[in-house]
Structure 1
């Protein structure tokens, strides 16, 4: 459940920052959101150009998968939670394959900081 909460929190924080920065309606497209997500991550950790492209593709796949889960399991909250947890697990596994050890430490620290901020509110 903690993983699900973390995943949803990260998604919500990214979505909130996107809405604040959105100048046009196109900012809500999966491509624009994937780009915004990778930009947010790049602010926290150093990404090479190759990593930037791979993480953006990974984010786009995640966004599409999340939308598919929400559409397919619309009435079943437990199924959505389980599938989102699986998606998060796969996302982090794939992210680990892209990022280096120091980058993963920075990513995990960023995630922990976001959790601490949300609990403190």
Structure 2
């Protein structure tokens, strides 16, 4: 479970590494990160406008859940790992409902290649 949690964090960190300037005036840091992640996913999967908006909202929900989890200091490592795995599973499930099968394949390939590079 720990490895899955760290992989999730690595993937989201990679999708979030672009300049913070991607957000507009008044955007929260989470909204800016969600927008950046969505732009990177869109570049890999060729989202249409409707998908883009749904993925952006999903990214914001996921980032908010991760931030909320980080703030819960009274949880032990195993509980955090379990919650992080649930967040990841929920995210992947919802993303699969938004993307077409070929887009999901492109997303998984991009995620796998970025995760492999980042773990070194």
Q: TM-score range by the shorter chain?
A: 0.7 to 0.9
Deviates more, 1:61-70 or 1:51-60: 61-70
Q: In the alignment, which residue of structure 2 is the partner of 1:97?
A: 97
Q: How many residues align?
A: 117
Deviates more, 1:76-85 or 1:86-95: 76-85
Change beyond 3 A, Cα 1:74–1:36 = farther
Q: In the alignment, which residue of structure 1 is the partner of 2:61?
A: 61
4+ residue stretches of structure 1 with deviation over 6 A? Answer: none
Q: Write 1 or 2 for the structure with the bigger share of helix.
A: 1
Q: In the alignment, which residue of structure 1 is the partner of 2:31?
A: 31
Give deviations 1:80-105, integer Å, cap 9, x for gaps: 11101100000000000000000000
Q: In the alignment, which residue of structure 2 is the partner of 1:50?
A: 50
Q: In the alignment, which residue of structure 2 is the partner of 1:118?
A: 118
Q: Distance in 2 between matches of 1:75 and 1:12?
A: 22
Compute the TM-score of the two structures, normalised by the length of structure 1.
0.84
Give deviations 1:37-57, integer Å, cap 9, x for gaps: 100111111100000000000
Aligned 8 A contact 2:20 2:33 in 1: no
Q: CA deviation at 1:75?
A: 4.9
Q: CA deviation at 1:14?
A: 2.6
Q: CA deviation at 1:72?
A: 2.2
Secondary structure of the equivalent of 1:68?
A: helix
